[in-house]
């Protein structure tokens, strides 16, 4: 009850809105984001280091996913960290600036993917494969002595890379779907697991 002009007025507590503790919610979001980044980095590095078909790796999918789910700095930094750490074991080469640059572009592309609709996710995965194909093979033509430095050599470079494009496309589409929908299912599972122990 409250006192107003000397009169006691009853209050219906069911209609009083209680404010949730914002600090706790923010902390949960930060924890979720931190462990998400850590887990994605570890899984992607592992998948790139283990034996796999040429160009069948989850880096492009990671770039798309991080661009969609995290802030801009984390989005482009995440695939670069994964690439650098794994390249410490696999070896560095002259085309690295173009390879790394293609993943930055793909991460920026992923930032436009805010709704996880299957058609859009698969479409962005396909487009990211094309971006990687164009940028990375341009780097191969420019930075190595495998092809003549003219239009004919550039066309030949892209033609020789076509067989590898299939694996790039398959890995981008498959891993993009796994990252997006696996990520959601994982946190749904954790939420249900948390409530089951209450």
pLDDT tens-place string over residues 131-143 = 999 999 999 999 9
Which helix (H) or strand (E) segment is 4 a member of? strand 2-4
Q: What domain count does the chain have?
A: 1
In a domain, 4, yes or no: no
In a domain, 23, yes or no: no
In a domain, 90, yes or no: yes
pLDDT the model gives residue 186:
65
- Return contacts of 96-102, CB within 8 angstroms, 24+ apart: 97/139, 98/135, 98/136, 98/138, 98/139, 98/140, 98/142, 98/143, 99/132, 99/135, 99/136, 99/139, 101/135, 102/131, 102/132, 102/135, 102/136
In a domain, 49, yes or no: no
pLDDT band for 49, please (50, 70, 90 cuts). very high
Write phi, then psi, for 8 (nearest 5 degrees). -90, 120
pLDDT tens-place string over residues 72-106 = 888 889 999 999 999 999 999 999 999 999 999 99
For residue 183, the enclosing domain spans 54-196
CA distance 116 to 112: 11
Which helix (H) or strand (E) segment is 9 a member of? strand 7-9
pLDDT the model gives residue 193:
63
In a domain, 124, yes or no: yes
Model pTM score: 0.76
Nearest Cα to Cα of residue 183 among 99, 68, 73, 95 = 68
In a domain, 72, yes or no: yes
pLDDT the model gives residue 29:
41
The pLDDT of residue 31 is above 90: no
In a domain, 19, yes or no: no
In a domain, 183, yes or no: yes
User: Which is higher by pLDDT, 17 or 42?
Assistant: 42
Mean pLDDT of the chain: 82
């Amino acid at each position: 009850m409250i006192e107003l002009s000397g009169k006691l007025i009853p209050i219906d507590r069911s209609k009083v809105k209680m404010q949730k503790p914002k600090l706790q919610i923010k902390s949960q979001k930060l924890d979720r984001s931190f462990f998400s980044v850590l887990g994605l980095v570890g899984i992607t590095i592992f998948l790139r280091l283990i034996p796999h078909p040429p160009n069948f790796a989850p880096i492009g999918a990671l770039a798309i996913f991080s661009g969609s789910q995290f802030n801009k700095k984390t989005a482009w930094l995440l695939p670069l960290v994964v690439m650098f750490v794994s390249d410490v074991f696999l070896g560095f080469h002259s085309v690295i600036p173009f390879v790394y640059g293609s993943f930055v572009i793909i991460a920026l592309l992923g930032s436009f993917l805010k709704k996880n609709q299957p058609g859009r996710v698969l479409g962005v995965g396909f487009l990211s494969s094309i971006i990687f194909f164009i940028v990375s093979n341009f780097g191969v033509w420019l930075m190595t002595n495998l092809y003549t430095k003219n239009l004919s050599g550039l066309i030949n470079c892209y033609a020789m890379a076509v067989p590898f494009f299939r694996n790039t496309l398959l890995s981008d589409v498959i891993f993009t779907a796994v990252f997006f929908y696996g990520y959601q299912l994982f946190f749904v599972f954790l939420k249900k697991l948390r409530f089951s122990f209450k």
